[in-house]
Amino acid sequence: MENFIMPARPENSNKGTFGKVLNISGCDNYIGAAYLSSLAALKVGAGLVALSSTKKVTDSVSKLLPEAVYLERKQGLKDIENYTVYLIGCGLGQTKQSKKDFIQFMKKISKQDKPTVIDADGLNILSEIKEKNDLQLSLPQNTIITPHPMEGARLLGVKLNDVLNNLEDSARELSKKYKVITVLKTHRTIITDGQQLSVNQFGNSALAKAGTGDVLAGIISGLLAQNTEHYESARLGVYLHSRAGEIASNDLTEYSVLATDVIRYLPNAIKGII
- pLDDT of 132 > 70? The answer is no
pLDDT of residue 109: 95
Whether 5 is covered by a domain: the verdict is no
Whether 11 is covered by a domain: the verdict is no
Q: Which range marks the domain in which residue 174 is found?
A: 17-271
Q: What is the largest CA-CA distance in the chain?
A: 52
Whether 47 is covered by a domain: the verdict is yes
Whether 186 is covered by a domain: the verdict is yes
Whether 65 is covered by a domain: the verdict is yes
Q: Using pLDDT thresholds of 50, 70 and 90, give the confidence band for residue 137.
A: confident
- pLDDT of 226 > 90? The answer is yes
Q: What CATH number does the domain containing 50 carry?
A: 3.40.1190.20
Averaged pLDDT, 59-74 = 97
The HSE-up count of residue 26 (CA atoms within 13 Å, CB side) is 29
Among 90, 133, 130, which Cα is nearest to 219's? 90
Entry pTM: 0.97
Element (H, E) at 232: helix 230-256
Q: How many other CB atoms sit within 10 Å of the CB of residue 150?
A: 13
Among 91, 11, 94, which Cα is nearest to 51's? 91
Whether 174 is covered by a domain: the verdict is yes
Q: pLDDT of 156-201, one tens digit each?
A: 999 999 999 999 999 999 999 999 999 999 999 999 999 999 999 9
- pLDDT of 134 > 60? The answer is no
Averaged pLDDT, 219-240 = 98
- pLDDT of 136 > 80? The answer is no
pLDDT of residue 267: 98
> CA-CA distance, 8 to 28, in Å (whole number)?
37
Averaged pLDDT, 56-75 = 97
> CA-CA distance, 169 to 150, in Å (whole number)?
15
> CA-CA distance, 92 to 104, in Å (whole number)?
13
- pLDDT of 231 > 70? The answer is yes
Question: What is the average pLDDT score of the chain?
Answer: 96
Whether 12 is covered by a domain: the verdict is no
- pLDDT of 36 > 70? The answer is yes
- pLDDT of 135 > 60? The answer is no
> CA-CA distance, 171 to 197, in Å (whole number)?
9
- pLDDT of 133 > 80? The answer is no
pLDDT of residue 138: 83
150's CB contacts (< 8 A; 6+ apart) are 160, 163
- pLDDT of 273 > 90? The answer is yes
> CA-CA distance, 173 to 161, in Å (whole number)?
15
- 139-145-150-155 Cα dihedral, nearest 10 degrees: 20
pLDDT of residue 129: 85
First to last CA, the chain: 14
pLDDT of residue 3: 86
Percentage of the chain exceeding pLDDT 90 = 94
Residue by residue, DSSP assigns 142-155 as T-EE---HHHHHHH
The total of structural domains in the chain comes to: 1
Q: pLDDT of 232-269, one tens digit each?
A: 999 999 999 999 999 999 999 999 999 999 999 999 99
Whether 119 is covered by a domain: the verdict is yes
Q: What are phi and psi of 221, to 5 degrees?
A: -65, -40
Cβ pair 43, 222 in contact under 8 A: yes
